[in-house]
Structures are given as structure tokens and as C-alpha cells.
Amino acid sequence: MSTRIKRKHRMSFWDKVDMEVLEATSETFRIEVDKAFQTFLADGGAKEYSFPTNLNNFERKHIHQKAASYNLVSRSHGKDPNRVITIYKKGAKSNFESFYIDLTPETVRELDKTLQVVGMSPMGAPPLRWTCRDKVFGKLSLGVPPPVTAPRLTPQIAAFRKQLPIYDLRQVIVSKVRKNRVLIVSSETGSGKTTQIPQFIMDDALQRGEPCRILCTQPRRISAVSVAERVSFERGAPLGETVGYHIRLESKVGSNCNLIYCTNGVLVRSLMSGMGALGTLTHVIIDEVHERDKLSDFLLICLRESLRKGAPIKLLLMSATINVEKFQRYFEGAEVLAVPGRLFAIREFFLDDVLELTGYDAVVREKRNFFEGAVGENPLFDEVIMRVLQGGIDNEQNWAQLLQFLLTDMPVNYRHSENGATALMAAVSQDNVDMVEKLCSLGADPHIPSKSGQTALSIAENKHLEEILLILNVTSRPLLPREDLLTNYYKTCADEDINYDLLIRLIYTIHLQYHTGAILVFLPGYDDIMICNDRLLETNIDKNSYRVFFLHGSMNIKEQHEVFKPFPDNVRKIILSTNIAETSLTIDDVVYVVDCGKAKVQTYDSCSGLSSLQTQWISKACVKQRAGRAGRTQSGVCFHLFSRTRYDSFLDERIPEILRVPLEELCLNTKSLADNISIYNFLVMAPDPPSSNTVKTAIENLECLGALDKEERLTPLGEYLSQLTIEPHLGKMLIYSAIFKCLDPILTIVASLAQKDPFQLPPQANLRSFAAEKRKSLTANTYSDHMVYLKAFIKWQDSVKYRKERNFCREFFISPSTMETILKTRSQLLGQLRAAKFVPSNGTSMVALNTNSENWPLVKAVISSGLYPKLAFKKGANFCTRTEKKVLVHNTSPMSKDLPLWLVYDEMVKVRNGHQVRGVTPVTPVTISLMCGIKVTYPMQNYLEIDEWLEFEFPSPHIINLRRLIETIIEKKLLNPTNILSENEELAMIALSKILIYEDRAAKLEIPVGIRQKPRFFELNRALDYVENRGAFGGPSTSGAPNMAPMHPQYENSVFLLIKVKQECSVKIAFDSNKWIFSPQTEKQVMALDNGGMNVYLVYTVQKLNAFYGIAKYLTFDTTRHKTSAAIEWIFKSCVPYKSVSHLRNALNNNRLIYDGLDGQEIEMGAALQLWDLYLGQKRQ
């Protein structure tokens, strides 16, 4: 089975090549067409584009095929020589759909009963609106810039820094920084700019006795952490003291930090809390600015406007491939500094060089005879040929069996032992065009005669099979001479595909003929990495002479770190990577780079509202970055698998992300940052402004979500969504889960969707179908992808409880590090809800907020509210969406094809045969009618219309009334999350819960149990045991024996309170007595928390001594005495100085330092657990 799969990969690109078009079109023509398409797609305002009239039929056919791949419409009109082909963007028009919904008898009875009690009487005026606009999560909380701490350099570090190319320019750099408000640094790869320029600035400030705080942004989290660790090491200080980092879910920043590396998102969120954030900084560095992600462009707008208003900062823009002229214009004549880069030369070769080096052109010449060779009679294959010749109902299966023979042992031109018929003759006889193309691509000869004298060519002529004749004639043409390698090559290989034959032959050649050094291969995506790995395993290279590594966003973190380790000279690293290795990772022993010239790029069509991940040619800047990965420690070589002509056609730099992605997140950020200006007028100030149509579409989507009103003002929901650190539609799910009391399962689902998919396809081809089945086994018969994430998380926690997490992750092909990240994200989101008042601080919070967590239909309703209008429904035999008349469910989904259901989905993607939806959950139309949409009208008593798209007619008007009650409840909670629902409103919520269950049962949808399971928290370091070298992710694993270290408290039912102590002796007495007497106010607080079922942890601090003195758990009150005392259990009894926790801030106390608060002040869980970990570290020592 595995052999067959591998062989299928061998022919994959030949399978898709249109030989006619390939031969009749030149590379130059195809390049010009590519340029036209890219320009058209990048222009959000363009609706159509017409090509010149001087095209032949094959050139027009190429344009039609290209248009289909980009989800565009193409039309030819007119007559030759004036025939014109025009491409169009699909509009996002939605057809009006009307449905009659028959309610179950149970639903009708519940509606009648509820509405009789509740009626339509007013629910009472809502209280004053509470605003959370001062609550920005994920931001930096800093004081005034501190003085610089002197570095403690070792002789080795000092010598290393002096060897870097940038070191000799340190005085020039410092001088230009001091003299200019904006400095553009164009520095070659390997110069040391990211680690050294901030240190030059710090050293200069130290010498002058000036305060300094530098913020250096990085495009990826892994680079922010790893660079901070490196610079901290160079300066001889603990991470977080003078050099730190701040990324999502993790921060090591002390109050005296002079240099902070962070992601772009952290700085954006800091600016959203007010431009005063810049007052805590002296310098801002935007590193790798050439990557042009949407947040870096948003930052450039904010920083330029702040500088115009007199912000007291110095701004540096750094990159190896920066467009100097563009940024000079943008920042009005900013100073430019060019820095020399790499230490070793890099030789570059292009496609024609590679063809000559590998002798691949000879392979192309012999392609048609690739499977030829002497072979004896094969009765089994004789029988297969006869079956396909005869045709019949099972012929598709017969053809599959024939192909299996040909792709294993049999020559493609094998002749039947009795009549001399070939497989190609059989395909022609049956008029099987697809099979004829496949056989010809494998080298089938149409001139071979049977024993009766017939050939495949003569059969096609006798039957007048014109399409097949064209294929056979093309195949039988004489091959081109060797002189023109590229011409020969392009007759057999399509531009859009990766030629794995050539790629593997090049790797084979390098490995056998070139000296030691790692080979880094840049491929577009995960599938390409897996195919390349399969093909490598097929070669006869000694498997002990190399080791393959994968670098990809969803790959195991452990393997990503192992790739940095040195290997013996007799073992070569072969690294198969996406563009993650362009800038974020540097592997010193890479000597050879193989660049396929392509990358997966997210594109967005604002006309159709469709996002897709497409494989596209990279830019010249990316080519330079990739080549720069070679030659770090010696001279390097880069092989480009594209021609010089193709390279000349590349864009100078990649298309900025702001021009090719949806802009909902940036629109929300804009309203938080600059409420007095329209969204478009703000975003148009970007270096490359997005089109008005793209911005308009994003605003309309936010209106549909309920985040903006018609005047572009933030709604109450929009204010919350702009503050949360997740995408708006996920934020809506989260907030609704608190309102509808199903918080636990939605927290898990949202945290999972906010991260990369935890499921990993194995590199072994024969295990991938097994992995898919294991994933589908987690659906609990719900046919829901979202249930898969929920069940995976619950089962993972169960496995952790019994210390079997490794086995679980291995069995279900799950990434342990991703599960840990989901756990952290879940806790962070819970803290944000608590700070936003959706989760009260009292002890009854989590119990009350999970009343409906076992109600899967209600959980799905909350999911639907966030995903809408990503909705599909059966119309005839097909699923339809708002914009597409036919979509398929992605093959990774557990969805059954037989269920005539409605479903919501995470995303729709363009595939070769249409569109597919992924991340699906089946729902009922009643769920949609009650929970989805903002623009709702009621045209008649029994009718409900949503967004001028969906019209529902019901047998009873009561369901319309229930929808109105639900809208009232949502509005009340959004105005003030602390509002208490009235008795009638609670009855309406109960009715909603019951009705959704009745309707799901009637639709025969499974309603599983056990989905409200809360997280079981465990020793965090043990959970990360499988990451042997966490490096940038928090240091080495410190797994210990059981019961040696206190377990982390449970997030959901635990709270930490600050206990302020005046005298040290009071704490020492408590150490011995295990009792404590609270202040009256704190006593009431502890009692309320205890009555609500919360675990209360007490953090003791003696302020006069500037230290924490321990953590204890409250047990019970002793009321037998005159003065009430509490029994406590000490968990930690030791001193932690304030200076050790200067990086910890309390989000529940306006982000003040963790020890700054009154007696009884609640401490945010994340900060409290970081303090807990400090105590754990002391305990181990």
C-alpha cells in the first residue's frame, strides 16, 4: 500500500500537466500572465481585466485554467482576430433563501408555557452602561525608562561580538541614532543587527548616564524569545533583569529592563491603551520590516503619526532586504545606514545550471521509456488488460488495478501475451481520455502494433477520436535537442508544480558529490514536505548517512530544536522547511540551500469574501533571504529551481499582508486607537494602503458580527472584542458563553481555534489514514470538528492525571506542546473575562457560569453565533452557502454525507473542483433563527428575516417572541456584565436550552455527555516533560518525582489574595500555629469565597522588608473563640524578594506590581502562578 502511495507522488505533477498548453505557451508568456493576475488580485477595487486580442487558443486556454485556480470567472467573446478573454472577480451577492420550519411538539409546548408566564412585558430598564475600554489585555505595563545596568561580558563573548561585521560600525550607528528621529538600517544577513544594535544603544546610554528602554519587535514569537535569551546571555544577566521578552501567554520583563523583545501584536495592544505607552520607551525598533505583516504596517501608521505629534522616541527600521526608497518617502527623508553582512561568499545557481549539474535533461529525454525493460509473460496483467478492453460496470476498478501494476513492476508498453494489445490500446478503445493522458505521461508508445497490426494511433483514427488523436500526436513528436535545456524541460514540467524528480535528483547529487554541510530545502507547505520525505526514502542513499528534519508551523517543537544540534561529519542534515526558516531561524551548519521559489500565501478576495491559501512565486527579497541562510560558517551554495527569466519577473518584495487578508482585526484596533477618524482614512495612511472595497467589506463583516454600528462606532460588544487577544468571531463566542452559562466547553474550543491545529499528520505515508481515523474517533458521534477539539482536550487531561500523556499524544497524533499552549490560552482568556466582569470574582462564578455546559445543542448555538454567516445548508443534493451554490465538506471532517443538515464552518477554501468547507458542526435551522445575525426584521407575525438573506416561517409566533427576549438578555449583559437577570429572563434562558435539545433530538443529532469537564491542573513542568530541551520556551524540563513539589491550583475554582503583614513576627507565629486572623473586610471576603466553593490561597507579604514570606491555603474558620481565626495550610515558607518579581503585574489591580495593593487584593491567576513557580524553583534548590 505504501509503495503505491509513494509511486502516486512520483507522477503527481505529470498527472496535472496539460501537455497541449505546456508545449504551445512560452515561459515568457506564462510569466506575463502571472504578473497580470497578481496585479489584478492585489487591486481590491478592480472587478475585471481583459487580455490582448493577439492570443492563440492554447494561450487562452492557459488563462482560463489560471482563472479557475484563483476562483475567478473567465469569458471569451468576439471573433478572431479580435477575440478577447476577460477575467472577473466573483461578487459576494447572496441569494434570498426562504424556509418553512416545522417545530417539534415539545418545542411548541415549551414555547406556549414560557410565553404564558413571561409574556412580552418589559423586562425592566437596564442599568447604566459599564465600559471596559480601559482594559486592554496583552499590553506592556511599564514605568519610566530605567538607567542602564553595566554588562558582565566574558572574554569569549567580547571576542565573538568583535568578529561580527556590524561591530566596527558601532560608533557610526550610535551617532546616527542620536542625531535622527528615524533611522533605516539596511543590513545584510549575518551582520548581527538584531542582537548588537540594541546593545550599542544601551552601552552608549550607560556611558552618558542616561535612562534607556528599547522595544524591539519581531515578526514571530520564537524569534522574540530566542533573541532575548541570546542577548541576555551576552550581557551576563538573568533573562528578565536587563533584557527580557513579552509575547502572548508569556512574559519575562522586569521593572528595570532596558531591552524588551516582543511581537508586533504586543506593541499594537500597548498603543491601543493610549499613546502614553510610548512615554515609557526611549527607542522602538521594528525588525525584519520587509516581511510587511499586517500588524507591522499598522504599527508604522501609529508610529509615524506619534512622531508627527512629538512622541519622545527614536525609531529604527531594520531588515536585510528593506525597500529603502519606499520607507524614506514614508518617513519623510529618514536617514539610511547600510551595514555589510555575511562573512562567507554564496554561489548561486539557477534552473539551467541545475539541469546540467544533475543530468536531468537526459532523464526527461528518457521519460517515455522509464518503465521499459525485458519482462516475461504475466497472466494476471493479461487478464486485467482484457477486462479493461471489454469494459463493463466494474471498469473503474479494473483501471485502478491496471495502474497499480504499471506503477510497481510492469513496463507501460507491456504487450498481451496472446493478442499483443497494450494498456494504451485499451484506453483508446474505451475512449478513456484521462487514462490515455496518464499512460502517455508514463511513456506509452502509440506506435506499438498488436498481433493484428493495429496501433493505439490507428484505433483512434478509425474511431475518429479527435481529442485522443491530439494527445497521441503530441506524445509521438520527436524530442527536442539537448542544446536547449530549459526548452526541453518546460515541455514536460508545469510552472505551478514542484518537480520532485528534479528536486530529489539534486539532493542526491549534493549528498554524494559535495563535501559536508547541512542541506536546507525550502518547500511551500506541509504536504510538499511529506511528499519530498517519501521520495527521499525511495532512493538508494544509505539511510544512516543522513537525517531528515522538518520545519513547519505545526511540527513538533522538540524536532525544531534538535535541528540546531551539531552532527558528526558522516551524518548530513537534510532540512525540509517552509518559509519559517527564511528569517526566524538560523542554522549555522547549513551550507547548501535548495530554493523551490514558492511559498504558501494567504490571499483574500474582498468581492467574494473568500480567503484561500495558495502556492505562489516568492519575491526577490525572499530569494535573497533564502540564499542568505547558507554560508554562515563557511562558503555556501544556493540552488534555485527556477530560471533567471522567472527570477527577473519576481516582485521586488512580497505583497504586504494588509493587501491580501481580511482586515476585521485592524478595523477594531483602529476604532480603539483613533476613534475620531474613519477606519478607511486611518488605514489609507499605510505604506501600501488597502483598497476601499477591502476595508468596506471588513466593516460590513464587523457590522454583521455586531461589533460596529452603521456610523462605525464600537457597539458594547465591539468594545469587548477590541480588547480581547483573539479574533473577533472567537471573542463573540467567548462572551456569549458567559451570558448563556456554558463557559467551560466554549473556553476549550475557542482556545483550540486560536492556536494551530493540535493534530499532526505523521511523516509516514501509511500512517496518515490511520491518524485521520483516530481524529474522527473523538467526535462522540456528533459529526462535529469542534467536538473533536473538546474531546481531545478532555482526554488529554485524563491521560495527564494518570501520567499517560505521552502515550495519548502518540496514539492520537497530537502535539503535546500545542495542548499545553491551549491550556495556557484557556487560562489567559478566563482571566480576561474575569477582568471584563463577565466572570465575577466571587466563589459562585464558575458554578453558575457552567449551568448549561452539558447542553451540547446550546454550546453549538454559541459557536454558531460567532461563526455566522459561515453557514451551509442542503439545497437538493448539495450544500449551499451565502455566496456559493455548491460546496463540499472537507475530507478531514467527520461529517456524514447522508445527513440532510445545516452546518456552520470555520473556513471555506478553493480547491481544484470547487469549494470546500472545513471545521464544521451540524446544527438545526431553529438554532440559526434564534442565535444568529444582527440585522433582524419581522415582516409578518410568524416570519423572521436575517440580514436580507434568510427568511424563516414558523407555525407559531412564540418563537419570534423568544428571539426578541434573547436579544434583550444579550443587550442587558453587554451593557453591564454584572447585571442580574430577572426571573422572567431566566425562564426564557431555560426555555431556549430545552428547545435546542428538542430540535436536535428530532434531527437525530447526538447529544453527548461529559463535555463540561473542568481542566485538571497538574505540575506544569511534568506536563512539559516530553519537550526535552525547551530552550526558548522556558528552560530545561524539571520533571520531578511525585509529591515532591506542590501541584498548581485549579484555575476555575481558585483565587489568590494578597495578605499585607506589618510585622515579620506575625508570619513566623503563623508558621508554627497554622492559624491566621484576618482583617474584618478580608474575613468577609474569604467567607464569601469559601461559601461559593472557591479554593482560597493567601500570599503573605511583609512590606517593610520588601519581600513575600510564603503562600498558604485557607482551610476553615474556627468560630468557637471570641475572635475568629482561620485554619491555614502552609504550602511555601520562604522569602522571595520584591526585586525577583518586578516583572509581575496584577491585571486585576490596573496592572500594578503584584505586591502593590491593599490587604485582600485579588491577584490575577497568571501572575500568581508565576510567583508559585518561583517558590517551586526555590524548593528544588
Q: Encode pLDDT of 923-965 as tens digits.
A: 999 999 999 998 888 888 888 999 888 999 999 889 999 999 9
How far is it, in rounded angstroms, from Cα 695 to Cα 4? 48
| Chain segment 530-542, per-residue pLDDT in tens | 889 888 888 888 8
pLDDT at 558 over 70: no
How far is it, in rounded angstroms, from Cα 709 to Cα 730? 19
Residue corresponding to grid cell 528615524: 182
Q: How many Cβ atoms from other residues are within 10 Å of residue 927's Cβ?
A: 27
Q: Could you tell me if 835 and 725 are in contact, meaning their C-beta atoms sit under 8 angstroms apart?
A: no
Highest mean pLDDT, choosing among 47-61, 205-219, 1012-1026: 205-219
Q: Hey, is 471 helix, strand or coil?
A: helix
**pLDDT, position 453:** 86
Angle between helices 743-753 and 785-801 in degrees, nearest 10: 100
Q: Give the mean model confidence (pLDDT) for residues 740-757.
A: 92
The closest alpha carbon to 731, from 714, 747, 713, belongs to: 747
Residue corresponding to grid cell 524569534: 223
Name the residue with higher pLDDT: 1040 or 718: 718
pLDDT at 369 over 70: no
Q: Which domains does the chain have, with CATH numbers?
A: 2-89 (3.30.1370.50), 155-341 (3.40.50.300), 360-475 (1.25.40.20), 494-596+604-658 (3.40.50.300), 662-705 (no CATH), 719-848 (no CATH), 1043-1180 (3.10.590.10)
Confidence of residue 52 (pLDDT cuts 50, 70, 90): confident
Signed CA dihedral, 316, 317, 323, 328: sign only: negative
Name the residue with higher pLDDT: 91 or 415: 415
Q: Give the mean model confidence (pLDDT) for residues 811-840.
A: 86
Cell of 311: 512622541
Q: Give the mean model confidence (pLDDT) for residues 173-193.
A: 89
Q: Give the CA angle between residues 326, 330, 333 to the nearest 5°.
A: 90
**pLDDT, position 633:** 73
**pLDDT, position 130:** 54
To the nearest whole number, what is the mean pLDDT of the chain? 82
Confidence of residue 790 (pLDDT cuts 50, 70, 90): very high
pLDDT at 144 over 70: yes
Q: Give the CA angle between residues 234, 266, 863 to the nearest 5°.
A: 135
Q: In this structure, which long-range contacts are made by residues 774-780, counting pairs with CB atoms below 8 Å and at least 24 apart in sequence?
A: 774/811, 774/812, 774/813, 775/812, 775/813, 775/892, 775/894, 776/894, 778/812, 779/894, 780/1006, 780/1008
**pLDDT, position 378:** 82
Q: How many CA atoms lie within 13 A of 804 on its CB side?
A: 8
pLDDT at 366 over 60: no
**pLDDT, position 331:** 92
Confidence of residue 87 (pLDDT cuts 50, 70, 90): confident
**pLDDT, position 942:** 86
Residue corresponding to grid cell 518503465: 371
**In angstroms, how far is the first alpha carbon of the chain from the final one?**
54
The closest alpha carbon to 51, from 26, 27, 83, 20, belongs to: 83
How far is it, in rounded angstroms, from Cα 25 to Cα 697? 37
Q: Which distant-in-sequence residues (6+ apart) come within 8 Å of 803 by Cβ?
A: 1022
Angle between helices 264-272 and 664-673 in degrees, nearest 10: 40
| Chain segment 1090-1138, per-residue pLDDT in tens | 766 678 999 999 878 888 999 999 988 765 555 578 889 899 988 888 8
**pTM reported for the whole predicted model:** 0.73
% of the chain surpassing 90 pLDDT: 29
Q: Hey, is 241 helix, strand or coil?
A: coil
Confidence of residue 1051 (pLDDT cuts 50, 70, 90): low
pLDDT at 1027 over 70: no
Q: How many Cβ atoms from other residues are within 10 Å of residue 64's Cβ?
A: 16
Confidence of residue 375 (pLDDT cuts 50, 70, 90): low
Using DSSP bridges, classify how beta strands 914-923 and 888-889 pair: parallel, antiparallel or unpaired. Answer: parallel
How far is it, in rounded angstroms, from Cα 840 to Cα 1055? 11
Residue 147, phi then psi, degrees to nearest 5 = -70, 160
Highest mean pLDDT, choosing among 408-417, 429-438, 746-755: 746-755
**pLDDT, position 602:** 79
Q: Could you tell me if 576 and 533 are in contact, meaning their C-beta atoms sit under 8 angstroms apart?
A: yes
pLDDT at 833 over 70: yes
**pLDDT, position 1033:** 26
Judged on CB neighbours under 10 Å (0-12, 13-18, 19+), 469 is: middle
Using DSSP bridges, classify how beta strands 1075-1076 and 1125-1132 pair: parallel, antiparallel or unpaired. Answer: antiparallel
**pLDDT, position 136:** 58
Range of weakest confidence among 135-149, 481-495, 824-838: 481-495
Q: Which distant-in-sequence residues (6+ apart) come within 8 Å of 647 by Cβ?
A: 350, 597, 620, 623, 640
User: What percentage of the chain's residues is helix, strand, coil (to nearest 5)?
Assistant: 45, 15, 40
Output the CA–CA distances (angstroms, integers) from residue 52 to 36, 649, 951, 1151, in the order listed: 11, 19, 45, 62
How far is it, in rounded angstroms, from Cα 1061 to Cα 1056? 16
Output the CA–CA distances (angstroms, integers) from residue 229 to 252, 255, 498, 948, 1027, in the order listed: 10, 17, 37, 54, 18
Confidence of residue 890 (pLDDT cuts 50, 70, 90): confident
pLDDT at 186 over 80: yes
How far is it, in rounded angstroms, from Cα 903 to Cα 834? 31
Confidence of residue 585 (pLDDT cuts 50, 70, 90): low
pLDDT at 508 over 90: no
Range of weakest confidence among 60-74, 417-431, 650-664, 777-791: 60-74
Name the residue with higher pLDDT: 383 or 912: 383
**pLDDT, position 898:** 64
Rounded to a whole number of angstroms, the CA Rg of the chain reads 33
